[in-house]
């Protein structure tokens, strides 16, 4: 992955979603049509803190977010998700 350069607006977080599972723990291969959208990813860029809300996530954090959160973006051949910090459910 190349180094992303740019600026994210206040209160926003750019996340690189983890790859969807292709096989179950018992070895069954999951077809593309049955794969669920990943709900976990790594923070790539972080915007400034909002006036009334401190920015708690930082670059490199692994986060869990809601199923329908954010906007999907395709930048330099990679898929990303732009979400609000308020959409982050858990920081691992």
**What's the pTM?**
0.78
Residue 12: phi and psi, rounded to 5, are: -105, 155
Q: What is the largest CA-CA distance in the chain?
A: 49
What's CA 14's distance to the chain center, in Å? 6
1 in a domain, yes or no? no
pLDDT in tens, the chain (92 residues): 456 777 888 889 999 998 766 776 777 776 766 556 668 999 999 999 888 888 899 999 999 998 888 999 998 888 999 999 999 999 98
- Tally of structural domains, the chain: 1
CB contact at 8 A, 2 and 75: no
64 in a domain, yes or no? yes
17 in a domain, yes or no? yes
Q: Which secondary-structure segment (H or E) carries 45? A: strand 40-46
Range of the domain at 73: 12-91
5 in a domain, yes or no? no
> What is the arrangement of strands in the sheet containing 71-75, beginning at the earlier edge strand?
71-75, 78-84, 12-17, 40-46, 62-65, 88-91
């Amino acid at each position: 992955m190349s180094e992303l350069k740019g600026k994210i607006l206040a209160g926003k977080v750019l996340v690189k979603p983890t790859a969807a599972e292709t096989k179950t723990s018992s070895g069954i291969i999951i077809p593309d049509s049955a794969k669920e959208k990943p709900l976990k990813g790594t923070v790539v860029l972080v915007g400034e803190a909002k006036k009334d809300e401190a920015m708690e996530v930082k670059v490199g954090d692994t986060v869990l977010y809601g199923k329908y959160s954010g906007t999907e973006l395709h930048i330099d051949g990679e898929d990303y998700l732009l979400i609000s910090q308020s959409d982050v459910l858990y920081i691992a």
